[in-house]
Structure 1
Amino acid sequence: MLYIGNHTTSSKGYKKMAQQMIKNGGNTFAFFTRNPRGGNAKAIDAKDVEEFLQLAGNHGFGKIVAHAPYTMNCCAAKEDLRDFARNTMADDLRRMEYTPGNYYNFHPGSHVGQGAEAGIQKIAEILNDVLTEEQTTTVLLETMAGKGSEVGRNFQEIRSILDLVEKDHKMGVCLDTCHVWDGGYDIVNDLDGVLKEFDQVIGLSRLKAVHLNDSMNGMGSHKDRHAKIGEGEIGLEALVRVIRHPALAEIPFILETPNDDAGWTREISVLREAFEKQ
């Protein structure tokens, strides 16, 4: 089974997001928990959630992937920014329990001159503050392209964060194809080798979701500019190998390509057709 969908907007409500995804040909989706630039989250409508869960069940949806706001920097140098990150993540994880058993993805953050080691420590501190034994949500660290002072620019930095998290069984990883390519991992010519390294450093059991994006830039560019599927430096054939790879079976693939619903519908159709030819 191929679980694929695109990133949509939570302002529509859960049911409308699922309805749009069905129109797009998808059976999973990602959404921001609140405005991607921060701010208060919209109140959750329990009836909307109930209707969504029924709709998702009827259409065989896979796990959905919530995305924290971009402004949430768990390793910021300023403590007020870290307080915002801590409070936002804690609130988001409480809200995620309306749709239990899904994923909450976030960018590890930027150390802004403190150094990666200090950034890693600070990210783990917030995770240790907010993770609870009762939560059913798995929190995903996203692999990053390495622009500026981003933490998570390689598998070892992700591993270093996980090593410091006390409730690490509540943690997983989201691999972004554009980010790892821009970060220097050759998923075009050596996908098996990249996944082997991921397994050796982090463990493939931690890999819970994939952001499926082409890249406007070459391998190792550290730029993080997404391209439409087949129109970038990674290319359609390599991305099809990603969705077909047996190590990645049954996990959600989320398109974050620069598109509208018509564009995502085309991409989902192309990828489904290619997947089913295997």
Structure 2
Amino acid sequence: MRIGAHVDPTDPLAEAAARDAEAVQFFLADPQGWKAPKARDDAERLRDADVDLYVHAPYVVNVATLNNRIRIPSRKLLLGHATAAAAIGAKGLIVHGGHVNAGDDLAVGFDNWRKTFAYAADSGGFPLPVLIENTAGGDNACARHLDALARLWDALGDYEVGFCLDTCHAHAGGEDLLGLVDRVKAITGRIDLVHANNSKGAFNSGQDRHDNLDGGTIDPELVVAVIRAAGAPVIVETPGGVDGQAADIAFLRGQLGTGTSAA
């Protein structure tokens, strides 16, 4: 089981070494902006490294929305990030499930997801796995509650799609972590990555506020149980920089008995 952290994108491999991490996740462009990612000068070094790479799509991406001015650029941006992520040898591109606006039909949002994969298929498909991530808030979200997730997966049935399970988002979104992996896999058939985060917000608060594993409102043992059941690589998106994330990685290794990255 490979364990790592979300890091600054300037030198991801140095960040991995500082945390004794076997995997890293990072952005390829401004997470709050619409600019396409640029080719990286260190692409070959990243591809050749013995560190698993994951790329997170910008937060602005929302392919579910009925708003054309957001949905259409989101499709293009998602495909652009997938292409750039594949160029550095990333194992997956994580993207939030998105939402529709109040009063809009959520069924259209699910179909917009289908159209996103159809749009990508027109140019040969996504060049690496796209991992849809569950989200913490919103009454009109496509991937907050499991009933919505089931409808999303039904809409995407003709396409290969992966899933990223965030423990903070699940807890804050109102999904009990106990037995969650089995309930998710019954819908998606897979969990490709776990975002192991504690939550500053209470259960069902809808607050997307991450905390270190020994803090927050989730029993850390529940996070460990999710990871153990999922059997997937792990990324911590926790605060505290190198020290905070290194401590979270060490805690998980100790609980899971995986040793260090050098072992």
What amino acid is aligned across from residue 269 of structure 1 in structure 2? A
Match of 2:105 among 115, 120, 124: 115
Indicate whether 1:29 and 2:19 are aligned.
no
Equivalence map 1:184-263=2 (5 Å): 184-187=174-177, 190=178, 193-203=179-189, 206-245=190-229, 248-249=230-231, 251-263=232-244
Q: Which runs of 5+ in 1 are unaligned?
A: none
CA shift, 1:129, in A, is 0.7
Q: Which moved more, 1:258-267 or 1:127-136?
A: 127-136
* C-alpha contact 2:153 2:187 (8 A) present in aligned 1: no
* C-alpha contact 1:105 1:174 (8 A) present in aligned 2: yes
Q: Give the secondary structure class of the aligned counterpart of 1:121.
A: helix
Deviations 1:58-93 (A, max 9, x none): xxx34x221111111112232121121011012112
Equivalence map 1:1-278=2 (5 Å): 2-10=1-9, 12=10, 16-45=11-40, 48-56=42-50, 61-62=51-52, 64-100=53-89, 102-113=91-102, 114-131=104-121, 133=124, 135-165=126-156, 167-169=158-160, 171-187=161-177, 190=178, 193-203=179-189, 206-245=190-229, 248-249=230-231, 251-276=232-257
TM-score (normalizing by structure 2): 0.89
* C-alpha contact 2:83 2:127 (8 A) present in aligned 1: no
Q: Give the secondary structure class of the aligned counterpart of 1:38.
A: coil
Relative to total residues, which structure has the larger helix share, 1 or 2? 1
What amino acid is aligned across from residue 103 of structure 1 in structure 2? G
Q: Which runs of 5+ in 2 are unaligned?
A: none
CA shift, 1:277, in A, is 7.8
**Matched length:** 257
From the superposition, tell whether residues 100 and 159 of structure 1 become closer, same or farther in structure 2 (CA, over 3 Å): farther
How high is the sequence identity, in percent, across the aligned residues?
Answer: 25
RMSD in angstroms over aligned alpha carbons? 2.2
Deviations 1:243-272 (A, max 9, x none): 333xx22x2211111221121112112221
Q: Give the secondary structure class of the aligned counterpart of 2:6.
A: strand
